[in-house]
Structure 1
Amino acid sequence: MIEARDFTNRRNFPGELGNDFDVILRRYDAIQKIPPLIFGVILFGLAWLPARMEWGYALALWGFFMLDWLMLAILPAFQRSFGPPQPPVFLLALLRLPFALLPYPLNFVLQAIGSLLVFYGFWVEPHRITITHQTLQTPKLKSGSKIRILHLGDLHVERITRREKRLQELIKQLRPDMILFSGDVLNLSYNRDPLALEQAHQIMSEWQAPLGVYAVAGSPAVDLAEMLPAFYQRLPVRYLEEERLELEINQQTVHLIGLSCTHRPFVDAPRLEKLLPPTSENFTILLYHTPDLAPNAAKTAVDLQLSGHTHGGQVRLPLIGALFTASLYGRAFSSGRYQLNGLTLYITRGIGMEGAGAPRVRFLCPPEIILWEITGSGAD
């Protein structure tokens, strides 16, 4: 059981403009401003470091760096992603350096494997949307009743790519009763870009479900408060900022609580308390961007919390898992299903990827959408 913590004395919070991670991403993004010729010289300088004064070795390693640069630079032309190539290329070069110190031919074999991993992580896995099937049985619904809910999160649109087109196909194939979106519409690099906004609108305008489509705001740094309400006004999507709906489904009441996220549990927990239903008799869903409110929600009558934000880490290593989650609880909240007392929490790996100078990469952490089948076991 993950207990609720007191974060009132914390200075920085994830998902906010100006937090440490946000500052690092934006400063790292400045690498893209380096003229290409100078950046190429910098890469050669890095290649020279482990070369032990051997020009041939330095040129070969530099060739691997340049191959990374080429693979990332042409991503937009193939409608894969639209991030700046130079920041992640610089990071990849640094990651390659320790392997360059190994003896020949192992060093070159590992460099070649590295190139294959770069291709897979940037070109392939970000577009491999997986469907995760989850079931939940509750006595708060009548026996024999069933609700199919599709949980989507972290769309992070830059432009419509093969990933978004595949997403639309899957939604139409699954035909859920309800769609719940847990926030982060645009990519951090494109959240003031008119074309990205219009293409995000185009994507979400096609979402349809008999019981409705509902959404909440994501991180304040991504889903800008001055833009989001107007964006949803033009969509067949019910935007829930701080609201509880009583939905009549199969002649039963299901409570849906939608709460915008400040990333401060000590602020949002009291807001949640005000929205709770008067009794715990009916099934209650909380739609909230980050999992960090779950330890607080576990003390209430909420039965199911659907969240995202972490992207599952985007990069996961065997036996280690996510390297970074942007959660106040660290890697304790990464992705997948958690049980906290009577609360079931699910953290989606999301659909899109982080922005600014962060690599548009996924490794062992493909994008996902989650189809919930909630069935009743209660008395008729």
Structure 2
Amino acid sequence: MPKKMKRRTFLKSTFGTFLTVLGLGSGGYFYANRIEPSLLEINKLEIKHTLIPDSFNGTKIVQFSDTHLGFHYNVNQFKKLVDKINQLEPDLIFFTGDLLDEPNKYGEINKIAPILQQLNATIGKYCIYGNHDHGGYGSEIYRNLMELSNFTVLLNESLLIKQNDGSSISLIGIDDRMLGKPDLDLAMKRVPDDSFKLLLSHAPDVADEALNYGIHWQLSGHSHGGQVKIPFVGALVIPPFAQNYPEGLYTISGVNALSLYVNRGIGTTRLPFRFMAKPELTLYTLMSSETD
């Protein structure tokens, strides 16, 4: 298990990032603080595998992550995000953690569930815990909000997503690696061996462990894509458990290959900046394939 980064070390690194952003000058400061955080990208990928039944061909999944409501991301922005997701007409919606930046300090908590309830998905809405969903005594706050919003919370458990003809794929969700208690053994307990296995894990680096469980695809967030990246240097601050896989698509080889996608998230945390790390929605299309 990777060694946890001490909070003091992480904050020190974050402060160094802040000084670097200031060094970009007033124009760079304004861009990173006001403009790039609003430049939402929609990235499209196909999820292909022989174990995906033909009945799932064309099924659309929207993943969103890391809204961090309350830290320079407000209710009005959140409403626009929900409208954007609905415009994509998803069959499935996955939220991969960190809804509120500080759950027990958020002053507009009663406004969140009615907004999330407006998200439409023909098959269902599912979510997992991120580290901020546990922080600030937030575990029950988060679960209550998401269940009130018609999301199914997956906490070290799995379920079958079924089509009318009885065909199915397995969806697995585990707890956050930083502040939760992830348990893949427990989560995989009822997963059929012959099903397509899709894992939701807030922390990307769990993929190195998930590879040993026959997981075919993993969807994660947490990293914010580095949130602030400097040309020729890269991301200056990447959180614990997103060190190996900070952004984008990866193929991890083993006895069975695992595909991992790391979503850059929507909001910001610790620093109100994004630089070369635009916020992201990811639209996936499921496809049966003759080859793995």
Q: Report the TM-score range of the alignment, normalised by the length of the smaller protein.
A: 0.7 to 0.9
Whose RCO is larger (CA < 8 A, sep 6+)?
2
Q: How many residues align?
A: 282
SS of the residue corresponding to residue 195 of structure 1 reads coil
Query: Is residue 274 of structure 2 the alignment partner of residue 359 of structure 1?
Result: no
* 1:351 CA drift (Å): 0.5
- Do the aligned partners of 2:158 and 2:188 also contact (CA within 8 Å) in 1? no
Amino acid at match of 2:247: S
* 1:20 CA drift (Å): 3.3
Per-residue CA deviation, residues 185-234 of structure 1 (Å, 9 max, x unaligned), is: 1014xx21353422332332221201100011111326822422222232
Listed as ranges, the matches of 1:94-173 within 5 Å are 95-96=22-23, 114-143=25-54, 145-158=57-70, 160=74, 163-173=77-87
Of 14, 19, 30, the match for 2:7: 19
- Do the aligned partners of 2:22 and 2:29 also contact (CA within 8 Å) in 1? no
Higher helix share: 1
SS of the residue corresponding to residue 177 of structure 2 reads coil
Query: Is residue 159 of structure 2 the alignment partner of residue 248 of structure 1?
Result: no
Per-residue CA deviation, residues 231-259 of structure 1 (Å, 9 max, x unaligned), is: 22322111111221011136321100111
Query: Is residue 110 of structure 2 the alignment partner of residue 198 of structure 1?
Result: yes
- Do the aligned partners of 1:140 and 1:378 also contact (CA within 8 Å) in 2? no
Of 280, 285, 290, the match for 1:373: 285
Query: Is residue 145 of structure 2 the alignment partner of residue 234 of structure 1?
Result: no
- Do the aligned partners of 1:150 and 1:369 also contact (CA within 8 Å) in 2? yes
Distance (Å, rounded) in 2 between the aligned partners of 1:221 and 1:271: 23
Distance (Å, rounded) in 2 between the aligned partners of 1:254 and 1:296: 21
Deviates more, 1:342-351 or 1:318-327: 318-327
Structure 1 segments unaligned to the other structure (5+ residues): 1-5, 29-86, 97-112
Of 239, 259, 262, the match for 1:326: 239
Matched with 2:226 is: 313
Per-residue CA deviation, residues 328-377 of structure 1 (Å, 9 max, x unaligned), is: 362x31110111122111111000111xxx22110111100000011012
- Do the aligned partners of 1:309 and 1:350 also contact (CA within 8 Å) in 2? yes
Listed as ranges, the matches of 1:216-295 within 5 Å are 216-219=128-131, 220-221=134-135, 224-249=138-163, 251=165, 252-263=167-178, 268-274=183-189, 277-279=191-193, 281-295=194-208
- Do the aligned partners of 2:104 and 2:137 also contact (CA within 8 Å) in 1? no
RMSD over aligned Cα, in angstroms?
3.0
Matched with 1:41 is: none
Matched with 2:211 is: 298
Distance (Å, rounded) in 1 between the aligned partners of 2:25 and 2:22: 10
Matched with 1:99 is: none
Per-residue CA deviation, residues 291-316 of structure 1 (Å, 9 max, x unaligned), is: 12101111222111111001011111
Distance (Å, rounded) in 1 between the aligned partners of 2:120 and 2:52: 24
- Do the aligned partners of 1:186 and 1:223 also contact (CA within 8 Å) in 2? no
Cα pair distance change 1:21/1:240, threshold 3 Å: farther
TM-score, normalization by structure 1:
0.67
* 1:133 CA drift (Å): 0.4
Cα pair distance change 1:95/1:282, threshold 3 Å: same
Which one has the largest radius of gyration?
1
Of 92, 100, 123, the match for 1:186: 100
Per-residue CA deviation, residues 5-26 of structure 1 (Å, 9 max, x unaligned), is: x43xx3x35xxxx733566599
SS of the residue corresponding to residue 285 of structure 2 reads strand
Amino acid at match of 1:180: F
TM-score, normalization by structure 2:
0.85
Percent of aligned positions that are identical? 27
- Do the aligned partners of 1:315 and 1:364 also contact (CA within 8 Å) in 2? yes
SS of the residue corresponding to residue 162 of structure 2 reads strand
Per-residue CA deviation, residues 130-179 of structure 1 (Å, 9 max, x unaligned), is: 10001122111244722211111111111535532331221121001100
Amino acid at match of 2:105: D
